[in-house]
Amino acid sequence: MVSTPHVARKNAPKPKVFISYSRRDLPFAEKLVSALESRDIEAVIDKRDLPLAEEWQREILGFIRQADSVVYVVSAASVSSNWCGWEIEQVQKLNKRLAPVVVAEVDNLHVPEGIRKVNYVFFTGEYAESPGFERQIDALAKALKTDIAWIKNHTRLGGLAARWEEKGRSPALLLRSGELDEAEAWGARQPAEAPGLTL
């Protein structure tokens, strides 16, 4: 039986997304954040949300772990950035939903495989300004809200698994039998378009 994606209802929890981008694309990233927030999506971006006087790489990893999805701004600057590359490695390790948005044409051979295998949302040409921009943002927001209840549980269980690893796989942090049964039943209901389970 094929599962049908479910778009979030009005009273569903807000999707939380982390924006991965090159600083050269900051104006677009900030415009993207505003557009997503106006569509009831919580967007996290380092320029605004990174605490001062903290170890930034640890904080960025926390942002990625807590995000339900990661929106990656594709440009020549981002695909050549070591830090953007590191962020995408973390996204792939955690099996996060990834939404690549293209702001500048890039030779696909330069785009990391983990990104180019996902269908892009284009913000180039006619989609760089309204009304094309608004249509693309609506499509992106709809995709980010699809299967959100399942995705939220993916985020929660992934966080518990990361904590268990960081605490030396402490038996005290293992899921109890009822919680484990619920998690296994949840995993069996994985929607077709949802990211894979984190092993």
pLDDT given for residue 29 in this prediction = 96
User: Using one digit for the tens of pLDDT, what is the confidence trace for 147-167?
Assistant: 655 555 555 655 555 555 666
How confident is the model over 15-55, as pLDDT tens digits?
999 999 999 999 999 999 999 999 999 999 998 877 766 67
Considering the chain, what percentage of its residues have pLDDT values greater than 90?
Answer: 47
- Identify the pLDDT of residue 2: 44
Q: Quick one: three-class SS letters along the chain? A: CCCCCCECCCCCCCCEEEEECCHHHHHHHHHHHHHHHCCCCEEECHHHHCCCCCCHHHHHHHHHHHCCEEEEEECHHHHCCHHHHHHHHHHHHCCCEEEEEECCCCCHHHCCHHHHCCCCEECCHHHCCCCHHHHHHHHHHHHHHECHHHHHHHHHHHHHHHHHHHCCCCHHHCCCHHHHHHHHHHHHCCCCCCCCCCC
